[in-house]
Amino acid sequence: MICDPAFEHVVEAFRDGVGKGGAALAIVADGRLVVDVWHGTRDEAGRLPWERDTAVNVFSLSKAVLATAAHLAAQRGQLDLDAAVTAYWPEFRTDTTVADLLAHRSGLPAIRRKLPAGSLYDWTAMTDALAAEEPWWPPGSRHGYHAVTFGWLVGEVLRRATGREPRELTAELGLSLGWPGPGEPAFVLPLEGAGIERLPAPIAVRAFANPADLIAPGVANTAAWRAAQIPAANGHATARALADLFGRIGNLLTPTLLAEATAPHSDGHDEVLAGPTRFGLGYMLPSGLRPYSPNPRAFGHTGAGGALVFADPDLGIALAYTPNRLITTPTGPDPRWTPITDAVYA
């Protein structure tokens, strides 16, 4: 384990908040790994200890890694963020741009028709359905969290633009879509608190529960989930790998591209989550709904049940928190983050 003495109070706050299950915390400060700690257990029965290289499903943190792959492709000249999606995906019927996809502005957060069982694991079924879908609002006019469709939309554009699968691109950045093995990732413990019944509108129900495979009990622990590419949700990583990536983004991307990627492109009422959210181009920015940092210039992403990654360019840190015990927090911070971030910013 690594704990710089200057961060001992942060680590103490982390350990106090783990509770049932296990978690890991990693912090990079000014390019140096200053915290790499873990605590608790990684299996369903609570007998196997969390280890240094224990990876866990980090859910929507996957979006931030996929977005980073998109920005790297743009930097290499393989992808034009201002281009129409049809420039890469001719079958796509919605008149929107790649930037709109990244900023949750394309109007495609959900599919209206009920999808058959197994669609979640079928890349072609999902991308064909999205290519044919009518937008829920005029693209570019409003924003709404593309909770799961984000991965297929951005992933398919990247696949066509680069000729490489999304899982190849994210693997280079420290995140595995699904779980290739060897070994097993941390067991994802059952969600605590109300779930789908708390979603505010029909659009949100479809966004989070169509295909219905998304809400099957224990889906994140199944072989089908771990074998698939679901780039918005089934990424697996260690906290250390995520903190390392976000600690290096300032070196990976040019200052101009990083500034554009992390500037607010969507800010205000979210059509899906029915609350105030802010997004850059693929990165979730701190908001009233997810206030993970007091600095509005911080950028990263939160994940279902409590996972978190962000970089604060003013403080010079990157932080990742990866739990396997899932807690439902419809609004506000995860109760385990607050002591950690309070200690960081104290």
**Residues with active-site annotation:** 60
Residues 6+ apart with CB under 8 A from 288: 275, 276, 331
Query: Which one-letter DSSP state was computed for residue 317?
Result: E
Query: Which one-letter DSSP state was computed for residue 214?
Result: G
Nearest to 321, CA basis, from 299, 345, 305, 332: 305
Decide if 199 contacts 139 (C-beta within 8 A).
no
Helices 61-75 and 255-262, interaxial angle, to 10°? 140
Query: Which one-letter DSSP state was computed for residue 72?
Result: H
Decide if 220 contacts 5 (C-beta within 8 A).
no
Nearest to 263, CA basis, from 299, 314, 291, 313: 299
Structure token digits, residue 208: 């989070």
List, edge to edge, every strand of the sheet that includes 176-177: 56-59, 235-237, 176-177
Q: How do strand 22-29 and strand 317-323 relate by DSSP bridges?
A: antiparallel
Decide if 181 contacts 129 (C-beta within 8 A).
no
- β strands within 99-144, DSSP E: none
Q: Which residue type occupies 9? A: H
